[in-house]
Amino acid sequence: MTKAVVLLSGGLDSTTTLAIAQAEGYEPYALSFRYGQRHRQEFACAVRVAEAMEVAEHRVIEIDLRQFGGSALTGDSAVPKDRKPTRQENDIPVTYVPARNTIFLSFALAWAEVLAAGDIFIGVNVLDYSGYPDCRPEYIAAYEHMANLATKAGVTGHRPLRIRTPLIRLSKAQIIGKGTKLGVDYALTSSCYDPESDGRPCHGCEACRLRAKGFAEAGIADPLLAGPR
Amino acid sequence: MTKAVVLLSGGLDSTTTLAIAQAEGYEPYALSFRYGQRHRQEFACAVRVAEAMEVAEHRVIEIDLRQFGGSALTGDSAVPKDRKPTRQENDIPVTYVPARNTIFLSFALAWAEVLAAGDIFIGVNVLDYSGYPDCRPEYIAAYEHMANLATKAGVTGHRPLRIRTPLIRLSKAQIIGKGTKLGVDYALTSSCYDPESDGRPCHGCEACRLRAKGFAEAGIADPLLAGPR
């Protein structure tokens, strides 16, 4: 089987991405991060998802992005709970974490190189998160180009590395539909940016609202809301 | 003063790079990593250099690249001590650490974005380390392009970020000559990949040999060898 590194947060998108990588026949090496995020619940979900979906290996990287600050997700300001996503003056959501995807992909790149894996999967999406600079197709293309120059592939010239983004142009409803067909158990996943102390979703943040809207549009009941597990 | 993030390992090259950034009028924010390298002496030097050169701030990131392996520098194999640099079959030195510069630059990018710094300085050099894919000018250019798409600059379009590599085409002798003119105290720096337990350089590894050759060609005595400090 061909190895692939899959970035796994434990959320709906990355879990669906993992299922897609498996359906394409890849042997997935899942990579998760504890980076000081508010939503630690998500990390517990990553562990459950990796186990349930029987990845080849699950590695967890500890990095503290709180020390740089600059994001509501790492505690610099409150996670917005209103209807309209809160934006910074430059129209970037306050939940944007500076260079986070670049840091995550760079660790994935190191692991892919050591594993001799030719593919890195990341569940970025341009529709729901249009304000995040590091979710756009042009960013991913530039990262892929850089990654091929950064590593042995850039010297030997064979077997280029690909950054795979199977969700990038899908709506949340399409993502949920696709994952459901692939047998993803969304009860294992978590989307909330600011969960209650018992781990239940807040239902108010942008991530909760996008998830609810996606399940509604897909005509599927969110199993996470079916009751405690 | 204009802020710049400077990657500082405590070695000869990054210390010279810091001096150049200061000479150009930047207020330097130094960033160092403990990544599981054998040569921890170098890290102690980074602390001394940052203090002696009065940087605006010195941050240290703890990441463990040993968990990925794949390099003599993080303990996967012995650091070569022979005359000819040991290469892997693809002609990359065994001291190459997979994706290391990409990971370092990505943390620098996060900090630069939060600081609103427009420049990141890195002391890569293409002559001495021609086998390292992530020291080549085409890699740096690709990283800079990616970095501008990854961050707010990519959305707002103003004040692009630059990856500055003032040493990239200089010989070791030229680097030492330049640093000496700028008043760098090379006694504070360390280059050895595999120092003795008391911190003294091994004199056998490629980094020691490059340093010795550079000082000899520059006609300058290496102050590190003048005796214990």
Question: Are A142 and B146 within 8 A, CB to CB?
Answer: yes
Alpha-carbon gap, residue B93 to B72, rounded angstroms: 9
**Contacts of residue B46, Cβ cutoff 8 Å, sequence gap at least 6:** B8, B9, B10, B14, B30, B32, B58, B60
> Which band of pLDDT confidence, cut at 50, 70 and 90, is reported for residue B229?
very low
Average pLDDT, chain A: 87
Q: Pick from A68, A133, A146: which is nearest to B151 by CB?
A: A133
Token pair, residue B110, equals 């996060």
Top pLDDT among B43 and A215 is at A215
Alpha-carbon gap, residue B100 to B206, rounded angstroms: 18
Helix (H/G/I), strand (E/B), else coil: A209: helix
The nearest CA of chain B is from the CA of A223 a distance in Å of 34
Residues of A with CB under 8 A from a CB of B: 59, 61-65, 67-70, 90-92, 98-103, 105-107, 109-111, 113-114, 131, 133-134, 136, 138-139, 142-143, 145-147, 149-152, 154-156
Alpha-carbon gap, residue A187 to A65, rounded angstroms: 28
Alpha-carbon gap, residue A6 to A144, rounded angstroms: 15
Token pair, residue A116, equals 């001799």
Alpha-carbon gap, residue B165 to B101, rounded angstroms: 12
Chain B residue with the nearest C-alpha to that of A138? B149
DSSP H or E run through A34: strand A26-34
Task: Find where tokens 């434990």 sit.
Answer: A10
Rounded average pLDDT over A158-174: 92
Alpha-carbon gap, residue A20 to A40, rounded angstroms: 25
Judging contacts by C-beta atoms under 8 Å, the chain B residues touching residue A131 are 155
Taking 90 as the threshold, does the pLDDT of residue A126 lie above it?
no
Taking 60 as the threshold, does the pLDDT of residue A85 lie above it?
no
Q: How do residues B84-143 score in pLDDT, each as one tens digit?
A: 555 555 567 777 778 899 999 999 999 999 898 999 999 999 887 667 888 899 999 999
Q: Which of A95-99, A117-121, A131-135, B90-94 has the highest mean pLDDT?
A: A117-121
Q: How do residues A28-80 score in pLDDT, each as one tens digit?
A: 999 999 887 766 677 889 999 999 999 999 999 988 887 777 676 676 666 66
> Which band of pLDDT confidence, cut at 50, 70 and 90, is reported for residue A89?
low
Q: Which of A216-220, B129-133, B199-203 has the lowest mean pLDDT?
A: B129-133
Residue A72 has a pLDDT of 67
ipTM: 0.88
Rounded average pLDDT over B4-25: 97
Between strands A26-34 and A57-62, the pairing is: parallel
Residue B39 has a pLDDT of 65
Residue A84 has a pLDDT of 56
Q: B132 and B87 in contact (C-beta within 8 Å)?
A: no
Q: B47 and B23 in contact (C-beta within 8 Å)?
A: no
The nearest CA of chain B is from the CA of A220 a distance in Å of 34
Taking 70 as the threshold, does the pLDDT of residue A87 lie above it?
no
Burial of residue A223 (CB within 10 Å: 0-12, 13-18, 19+) is middle
Long-range contacts of B128-131 (CB under 8 A, 24+ apart): B128/B171, B128/B172, B128/B210, B129/B93, B131/A155, B131/B85, B131/B87, B131/B91, B131/B92, B131/B93, B131/B96
What are the phi and psi torsion angles at B19 (to 5°)?
-60, -40
Taking 60 as the threshold, does the pLDDT of residue A206 lie above it?
yes
Give, in order, the Cα–Cα distances in Å from B178 to each of B21, B43, B124, B172. 12, 23, 15, 10
Share of residues in chain B with pLDDT > 90 (%)? 55
Question: Are A90 and B156 within 8 A, CB to CB?
Answer: yes
B99 DSSP 8-state letter:
T
Rounded average pLDDT over B195-217: 88
> Which band of pLDDT confidence, cut at 50, 70 and 90, is reported for residue B18?
very high
Rounded average pLDDT over A16-39: 92
Q: Pick from B70, B96, B109: which is nearest to A102 by CB?
A: B109
Top pLDDT among B81 and B184 is at B184
Question: Are B103 and A99 within 8 A, CB to CB?
Answer: no
Average pLDDT, chain B: 86
Top pLDDT among A163 and B86 is at A163
Top pLDDT among A135 and A176 is at A176
Instruction: Count CB-CB contacts under 10 A for residue A205.
Output: 25
Report domain extents, chain B.
2-225
Residue A229 has a pLDDT of 46
Residue in B33, B87, B88, B103 to test binding to A, most A beta-carbons within 10 Å = B103
Q: How do residues B68-79 score in pLDDT, each as one tens digit?
A: 776 666 666 666
Rounded average pLDDT over A120-147: 89
Q: Which of A195-204, B42-51, B84-93, B185-194 has the lowest mean pLDDT?
A: B84-93
In CATH terms, B2-225 corresponds, of 3.40.50.620, 3.40.1260.10, 1.10.10.10, 3.40.50.2300, to: 3.40.50.620
Residue A218 has a pLDDT of 96
String of b and e for B208-224 (b: at least 16 CB within 10 Å)?
bbbbbebbeebeeebbb
